[in-house]
Amino acid sequence: TGPTVEEQMERMRSMIYDRPKALSVGENDEVKSGSMEYLTRYVISQSLDAPACTEAFVLTYRQFGATPHEIMKYAETFYKKYVENFFKKPDNTTPKVKHKKGDKPQETLPPPLPIVTDRIIAFFRLWVNVAYPGDFKKAGLLPILLDFLENKISPLDKRDGTTNNSQVKLAIIRANHNYTNARKRKPDKDEKTEKQRNLLDISATTLAEQLTYKEALMYRAIQPPELLNLSWSSKNKNNREVARNVVLMVERSNKVSYWVATEICMCKDLKKRVQAMKRFINVAHKCHGMKNYNTTMEVIGGLNNISVQRLKKTWAELPERYQQMWDDLTVLMDTKNNYNEYRNSINAAKQQNAPVVPFLGIFLRDLTFIEEGNSDKIGKHANFEKINLLGSVIREVQAYQKVSYSYKKQSNITKYLRKALVLPEDPEDTIYELSLQVEAKAMPVLEDTIVQN
């Protein structure tokens, strides 16, 4: 009848820890580091009990020197060696039992499904879910995986009446559907509406919706490999190209902040300047209500620009309602206590399964701390603790890419924003000069200057 569950579990464990130098284990049996082959074996064994660990591995393994095809090979080899260790026949069928003449034949049970099969199915399902575009489509693993399912898993399903093969194929179908839809997304048709020419012609709600529409698309375009190796901040052009969507979103964030400051400082009339300031505070308030935290921070960044903050006369004319709104926003997005208020707000949004555009800067900051505080290697081994740290952040990024907003593109607003976000070569200096023109520096009063009659 084949080996017992306990025997199979023990064999699986022995295949993971059979080479002491291949894995480094801590006091509580926590894996600290290891070769990529043996870390692959380990995360397969954990794919049912600790799926987050498995997802972290398949999201980050490239940074630690392995390729998609190598990880696939390690998984196939582990499965093959495990099954062959127990079952000599490749199809795992039960050996025929000889009966004496006249005896009533007794039913014989097939050997149990290898414990590792459930885990390798979970491993492939998780891998497909989080890394289908890069690994299975672009890197060409899909036909290899389908061949493995057809030749190794399907015979077991037919024998035991299980559905392991279909579990992975269903994940593939869903992932391919999402991948195809993303590539075939058609641009929204232009709407024939009255042209909007300046900031105050557009309502705060409309601006907030259109900013959210665009930044949600940009955020959802970010792929896991872009978040590795600090590629987005590299001086090397090729490295930055790897993180193209992250770079584009960071650049847009800077443009939006400078746009906010520019629009305010360009208003020579005090009343119009106050109106522009009110409009942007309201836009930030609306974006926060839409759970678009990235644009909220961009607008706050623009209002906090030194060129805007020095406009004392303008801030003094701000109505109390808007001053309170501004105070509330700065508290919600305060950097104190590791953005505690923001993290509480976004966690509540996640519980509601609402569409969200997180503040990308916090993810990039967290990834930077992990990269700078942990080496990729411990000796010759890949640092598994770092794999889990990076993976946890990348999984968090992906968690907010699943739910879409229902806003539609308004072409006239899009055109306005596209023009508005074109910046001069030195935006900081340009904005400061504009600021000085609308509110000149106060002349200092010297103590030793005494006018006598």
CA distances from 68 to 74, 169, 179, 379, 414 (A): 10, 19, 18, 23, 39
- 274 pLDDT more than 90: yes
Q: Which two tokens stand for residue 164?
A: 């392991």
Q: Are 410 and 383 in contact (CB under 8 A)?
A: no
Categorize the per-residue pLDDT at 103 as very low, low, confident or very high, splitting at 50, 70 and 90.
Answer: low
CA distance 153 to 121: 9
pLDDT reported for residue 445:
55
pLDDT digits (tens, 9 = 90+) for 58-86: 999 999 999 999 999 999 999 988 877 76
Q: What is the pTM of this model?
A: 0.85
CA distance 84 to 88: 6
| Of 99-108, 213-222, 423-432, the least confident | 99-108
pLDDT reported for residue 97:
43
What residue spans of 290-335 are helical by DSSP H? 293-303, 306-309, 312-316, 320-332
- 382 pLDDT more than 80: yes
CB atoms within 10 A of CB 101: 4
Most confident of 60-69, 333-342, 420-429: 60-69
Categorize the per-residue pLDDT at 95 as very low, low, confident or very high, splitting at 50, 70 and 90.
Answer: very low
Residue 169 neighbours by CB under 8 Å, 6+ apart: 149
CA distances from 28 to 32, 37, 239, 377, 391 (A): 11, 22, 38, 21, 21
Q: Which of 277, 247, 267, 233 is nearest to 367 (CA)?
A: 233
- 303 pLDDT more than 90: yes
CA distance 129 to 145: 14
State the amino acid at position 438 in one-letter form. Answer: V
> Which residue's structure tokens are 């990834």?
367
